[in-house]
Amino acid sequence: MDGSSVLIVRGIVGVVVGIVAFLWPGITIAALVVIFGAYAIVDGITNLVLGFSRTGAHGRWAHVLQGVVGIAAGVLTFMWPAISALVLILFIGAWAIITGVFEIVAAIRLRQVITGEWMLVLSGIVSILFGVLVFAFPVAGAVGISWVLGVYAMTAGIILISLGVRLRRLVVATV
């Protein structure tokens, strides 16, 4: 799969996630919490197995500690889903800001290769704005956050689809 196809697929996934977030906001946040809790427990168990199965003491304690912390995080997620949802939402905000910065950096590097890199800059700006909004209004409620996530996912998805189509045309034109 070439780069333009990857961008188009990434964009389509973003649009679909956005639609789901609008149609089922409560389920969207609950699903994120459940997925995180399950992942933390499975990751914790995996680290414990690694820690107790390693030969020699080098690195063993780190895996065991990671395992215990992962299992504890997963159990706490299921014990306090509302707090976990808030923490997860703040994590999503941080992720969006970091992703936006990297998209802008990538666009600056791409500007020597293609025209239309502004679309990736725009996607980065949308990501950063979404992250800032999440941090500014973390208790706005699961529905509001889900809708903001939906707008972000659909907007970024549409921009990435546009960029992928533009790149595909560029590749076809140069062949």
Return the pLDDT at 58: 62
Over residues 2-8, mean pLDDT: 83
Q: What is the pLDDT of residues 151-160, one digit of tens each?
A: 989 999 999 9
DSSP-derived secondary structure for 119-149: HHHHHHHHHHHHHHHHHHSTTS-HHHHHHHH
Distance CA 173, CA 67 (A): 52
Return the pLDDT at 140: 67
pTM of the model: 0.57
Return the pLDDT at 102: 92
pLDDT level of residue 79 (50, 70, 90 thresholds)? very high
Return the pLDDT at 142: 62
Give yes or no for a contact between 13 and 157, defined as CB atoms under 8 angstroms apart. Answer: yes
Question: Taking 90 as the threshold, does the pLDDT of residue 60 lie above it?
Answer: no
